[in-house]
Every structure is written in structure tokens, then in C-alpha cells.
Structure 1
Amino acid sequence: MKLVKITAVTAAFAATALAGTLVGAAPAYAATYAGECGSGYSVVNSAAIGTKGTVFLAYSSSTGKNCVIAKRNTAGSAVLVEAGLGISPVGSHWPAYEGDYFTSYAGPIYLSAANQCVDWMGRISGTEGGKRGTNCG
């Protein structure tokens, strides 16, 4: 009987450890920024678009412009991909926006916003990610 209890406890511990590993693991094919905004732009923020991709906010100190791209984890058949960028607070209309059916990413879209907070988003097939009121300086 004691051997059965140890085995059950060991199995429960192993299952819990495995579940923690699965929940905390990064997506197998997470999107990565590959310079889509052009020379002089560096990623300053990013946000997951559910499990479908990532939205990247890049900035160029030489131009004072922000850039956003919404990128799928894996390229494939064209789906609706959208990117939006504006000086915070943005209401229901994104001053800089691109949305269409893309195989990989939407954008780059640009906005001059030196020393101002920005709102930015990416949306892939209805799933949205992004942030509001960030990168204020």
C-alpha cells in the first residue's frame, strides 16, 4: 500500500510539473522583428496578439517617428491583419492605420510622436494586442 501512495504522489508531481512547463512555454513559432520598419528603427515595445502573432512598436531617434507592424507567427494563406498607431489618447479612429489580407504582416505604418505618448495595436483575424499611453518620452 505504501508503494502505491508514493507512486501516486510521484505521478501527481510529474503531471503538475509538466502542466507548468506547458503553460509557461513560449509559442513554438513566435513572430520576430526583422527590420521591417527600415534602417535606424529599433523595437522599443511589443505585445502578443493572442497566440497568432506579435505587434511591434519601433522608434527612430533621428526622425522622431514611431513605426508599428503587426506580424503573424507563421506566414501562410492571406488573412486579415491590421496595425494602428496614434498619439494617446486615440478614440475609435487610428490616425495611422493599415489593414488588409496579408500572408505575413501589416505595416509598417509611421507617425511623428517625439515626446508624446502613443497608442498602438495589431489585430490578426479578430484577435487584438497592443498598448495605450506608452513610450512617452
Structure 2
Amino acid sequence: MRFTQSMFGAAAVVALSVGATTALAAPASATPNTTPQKVCGSGYKTVNSAAIGSLGTVYLAYNATNGNNCVVTIRTNPGTTLDMSSWIYVPDTNEGDDDYGRYTSYAGPSYVIGKGHCVDWGGGIANTYVQVTGSNCGSLTEHRTTYTR
């Protein structure tokens, strides 16, 4: 959980340092121009997703061949650059990956070996973030949090 909190703290610092005024820019198109499979690569199948308000969706994909998970955040309306992020973390192994930057369409991919482990993952667009913890753990219940900064 400490990793997750520090990831959101880093995202907030980036958003503040870059400036959140670009979040009001008009989108260039009405549909996303990519898919999780195009971003993550062949063999990845979407296993979970979470809406980031009306701005887009963060996807969790899994490749059964190599045991890797992939997270990508895709905007609903690609356009001018916005602060975006994708991240994934495996608490059991303390391994994680993230991508934070200013993008026009998507953030990621973020990869981690997750076979046989619960994963925490999420992403953000502009000042709206989604965090999913305890995900894909069989009988355990995952927890989702959406917030704005």
C-alpha cells in the first residue's frame, strides 16, 4: 500500500508542477485510437478495467504464456497532451512498474510478472485517478477508489 500511496503522491506532484490547466483543452476526436492489446502486445487479454470518470479507462491485461500483467490508460477522446499515468504493483513480490507523463492518447504500458499473485493497479488522466487494490485474487474482493486532485 505504501508503494500505491507514493505513486499517487508522485502523480500529484507531476500534475502540479506541469499545470492542470491543460485539462480543459478540447478533445481532437470522439473515439480512442488504440486498444489495450495494441499497446501491451500480442498475447495479452483484458481481464479487468476501471473507468476514469468520463475521461477514459484504465485496463489490466494478462498474458498467460509469460505470466505478465500489463496496465494501460486510454483516453476516451484523444487530443492535446494531458497528464496521464498507468501503474501496477505486486505486494507479494514488491515489484512494480509505472508510466507518468503528458500524452495525447494513452499512458503505458506498465508491466509486471503477476502469475499467482494479487495485483494493485491504476491510472489517471488530468486530475482524476483510479486505484484498484487486491485485484484478480480469486475469492478475495478487490477495492476500487476514484478521486480527483
Of 32, 35, 40, 1:33 maps to 35
The TM-score with structure 1 as length reference comes to 0.71
Q: Is the 8 A contact 1:55 1:130 kept in 2?
A: no
Of 30, 40, 56, 1:53 maps to 56
Q: Which protein shows a greater Rg?
A: 1
Identical pairs, percent: 41
How far is 1:30 from its partner?
6.8
**How far apart are the structure 2 equivalents of 1:34 and 1:59?**
10
Counterpart position of 2:47: 44
Give the gaps of 5 or more residues in structure 1. Answer: 1-28
Q: Classify the secondary structure of the residue corresponding to 1:95.
A: strand
Counterpart position of 2:132: 131
Indicate how the Cα distance of structure 1 residues 30 and 75 shifts in structure 2: closer, same or farther if over 3 A, else same.
Answer: closer
Indicate how the Cα distance of structure 1 residues 122 and 88 shifts in structure 2: closer, same or farther if over 3 A, else same.
Answer: same
How far is 1:34 from its partner?
4.8
How far is 1:69 from its partner?
0.2
Indicate how the Cα distance of structure 1 residues 52 and 97 shifts in structure 2: closer, same or farther if over 3 A, else same.
Answer: same
Q: Is the 8 A contact 1:75 1:104 kept in 2?
A: yes
Q: Name the Cα RMSD after superposition.
A: 2.3
Over 6 Å off, 4+ runs? none
**How far apart are the structure 2 equivalents of 1:130 and 1:56?**
11
Q: Is the 8 A contact 1:117 1:133 kept in 2?
A: yes
Q: Is the 8 A contact 1:49 1:130 kept in 2?
A: no
Give the gaps of 5 or more residues in structure 2. Answer: 1-29, 139-149
How many residues are treated as equivalent by the alignment? 107
The TM-score with structure 2 as length reference comes to 0.65
